[in-house]
Amino acid sequence: MSAGATATGDPTLGPVWKRASWYAVLSALSVLVLFPIYMTIVRALSTPRDYVQRGQPLYPVAVQPDIFGRAWTQGDLGRQMALSAVVTAIIVTAQLTTSILSAYAFSFLQFRGRTAMFYLFMATLMLPLEVTLIPNVDTVQSLGWFNSIQGLTAPFLATAFGTFLIRQGFLGIPRDLRDAAALDGFGHLAFLWRVAIPITRPVVASFGVIAFLSAWNQYLWPRAIVNEAKWNTIQIGLKNVGAANVDEMNIGVAAAIIAALPVLALLIFLQRHLVRGLTAGAVKG
């Protein structure tokens, strides 16, 4: 091990050979993750018949530069993505609000039956969507909410998972900070807004991403309660555009890429919020 090698580099990474091997491992993992995405783009751009005839190579064949435009118009993606965006925004906002408030209650408030209620909450995590699907469809139908925003969002406004995740974050807030906040005259809302949420921002942001992904990618539920084309969300639209273009498969693939762009944008936007270790330096100990 050469001592000189560490002098210039990042000391946390150690000597050159160690860094090099880390880079090799991480590069390999990146390739593993990025390769399917690359191949999706290749398939989208290539004319399907030529691509298959060429033996499905690693590069685009007979490129159709207008494929994304065609997918956009043929699949009516704009309208469907707008609807999905509205539905997703409602679900994410509602889930963040309900999860943060219930997590706060389960973390910081003392009330009778708190533990029992929390476990009851958690028990709902054990029920998969498939179990609740039929009763929920019945309920939504009886409310007359088929083909509506209410119908698309109502069952997803609160989630035990978010409560659990954010509660874990809140429980990590040192008691001294809560005491200091009490002396500073922060009431519950002020403490939540000024201290608890900023400190647990990585957790809250992570949950926001998870909520966004699951809302944006919903297929089964909209499928069950939507029977008018104008209420189709983007995932239903993708299925339809694929089914309508079996001879031009790359239109469906291109549509899938377009539908994934908001998710990509979200991840890039939230990247710095997802960094951990924000509480470093809060308290020494």
Q: How near is the Cβ of 92 to another protein at its closest, in Å? A: 22
Per-state percent for the chain, helix, strand, coil, to nearest 5: 75, 0, 25
Q: What are phi and psi of 282, to 5 degrees?
A: -65, -50
Which of 4, 285 has the CB closer to another protein? 285
Instruction: Answer yes or no: are the C-beta atoms of 81 and 259 closer than 8 Å.
Output: yes
Determine contact, residues 165/107, Cβ cutoff 8 Å.
Answer: no
**Is residue 273 packed enough to be buried (19+ CB in 10 Å), middle (13-18) or exposed (0-12)?**
middle
Write down the least CB distance from residue 167 to another protein, Å: 19
Nearer to another protein, 61 or 199 (CB): 199
Closer CB to another protein, 206 or 232, in the complex? 206
> Minimum Å distance from CB 271 to another protein?
18
Nearer to another protein, 79 or 273 (CB): 273
The binding site for another protein (CB under 8 A) comprises 174, 176-177, 179-180, 182-187, 190, 194-195, 198-199, 201, 278-285
Report in angstroms how near the CB of residue 174 gets to another protein at its nearest.
6
The pair of three-digit structure tokens given for residue 69, joined into one six-digit string: 């435009």
Measured in degrees and rounded to the nearest 5, phi and psi for residue 8 equal -95, -30
